[in-house]
Amino acid sequence: MRKPTKVLLHNDRTHDLADQLKQRFPTIEIGECNTYENLPNVIATFQPDVVYAIRFAGSKGYPVAAFFAENGPRWIANGGAGTDHLGTWDPKRTTVTNAAGVAADMMAEYVFGCFLHFSLDVPGLQADKTARIWRPRFVTPLKGKTILIVGLGHTGRSIAAHAKAFGMTVLGTRMRPTKMDNIDQVYPSDQLLDVLPQADFVAVSTPLTDQTRGLIGQNEIDAMKSGVVLADVSRGGVIDQSALLSALQSGKIAGAGLDVFETEPLPSASPFWDLNNIILSPHCSAVHDQWEQDSFNLFLDNLQNWENGDPLFNIVDPNRGY
């Protein structure tokens, strides 16, 4: 008789998830861990087959080694989309899946919230309101403008669909270019420098990998139109922060929505806090009142495949990072 699958829930709030897991899979053995510090010991003693994990307290101190220890789990189900915090692993020994796509639409809304913030000159309107000044102002339509989406995964494709609804021309780059819905032209990633000058708006939504680290640096920023608006919902490290800071200070980049940074939390001494032409958010573009439940529902469906002996979906290739 097959032994019951052991599932460890690693999150800051596991009780409700454990109840849902038990209801759907009554025979599964469930373990819970609510801290980073205790995880190595819990994995060593409980010896789970599967870990459902959400990085709930940032990257500092994240117990990566525990996941890939000698008696570690065979499957790690990451509750978010990015897996760069896990480093590298042997896919023959450990399968890693993610929750890519769960928050794609929310992240696209964040991107366009940032774009509209600048195209409608919300800062200027707010300043006039504070000063009680009534004066004519111009706003900039998105219709007819060109957006470049760097990275065409779930989030990039949702951004493209939203862009088309605004009547924009949509360009995109990806490692393996192919015709895609809502995108007028898809270019290979190595043509990024050639495409950037066409864009009025740039949305960065690519995962952080060895290939994408520093993908947008000084040369790429120099290639952008003067006055471009940028939104970054990728990962800290994809954009060279020093080059980005200089471009924002000079006005080369007119405005930016920045949800990710190389160091998170962003240090209080960072000069980004002093900029008036950015929206700065604490890596929350995917966080809404339903995302965690949606992520867990995805895991439950995948766990059903595991129990049935069927292939898992959303398997991450450690070499590609997605």
Q: Which two tokens stand for residue 248?
A: 């924002």
Helix/strand/coil (H, E, C) string of the chain?
Answer: CCCCCEEEEECCCCHHHHHHHHHHCCCCEEEEECCCCCHHHHHHHHCCCEEEECCCCCCCCCCHHHHCCCCCCCEEEECCCCCHHHCCCCCCCCEEECCCCCCHHHHHHHHHHHHHHHHCCHHHHHHHHHHCCCCCCCCCCCCCCEEEEECCCHHHHHHHHHHHHCCCEEEEEECCCCCCCCCCEEEEHHHHHHHHHHCCEEEECCCCCCCCCCCECHHHHHHCCCCEEEEECCCCCCECHHHHHHHHHHCCEEEEEECCCCCCCCCCCCHHHHCCCEEECCCCCCCCCCHHHHHHHHHHHHHHHHHHCCCCCCECCCCCCC
Domains 6-102+289-308 and 104-280 share a fold: yes
- How confident is the model over 288-308, as pLDDT tens digits? 989 999 999 999 999 999 999
Task: Supply the residues annotated as catalytic.
Answer: 235, 264, 283
Question: Radius of gyration over alpha carbons of the chain, in Å?
Answer: 22
- How confident is the model over 35-48, as pLDDT tens digits? 999 999 999 999 99
Angle CA 60–314–35, to nearest 5:
30
- How confident is the model over 48-97, as pLDDT tens digits? 999 999 987 666 788 899 999 888 999 999 999 989 889 899 999 999 99
Output the pLDDT for position 58: 67
CATH superfamily, with its number, for domain 104-280:
NAD(P)-binding Rossmann-like Domain (3.40.50.720)
Output the CA torsion 32→34→38→40 (10° steps): 60
Question: What percent of the chain lies above the pLDDT cut of 90?
Answer: 90
40 preceded by a cis bond (ω within 30 of 0)? no
Give the residue, 157 or 57, on which the prediction is more confident. 157
Domain boundaries, the chain: 6-102+289-308, 104-280
Phi, psi of 54, rounded to the nearest 5 degrees: -120, 130
- CATH number for 6-102+289-308: choose from 3.10.129.10, 3.40.50.300, 3.40.50.720, 3.40.50.2300: 3.40.50.720
CA–CA distance, 260 with 4 (Å, rounded to integer): 40
Question: What percent of the chain lies above the pLDDT cut of 70?
Answer: 99
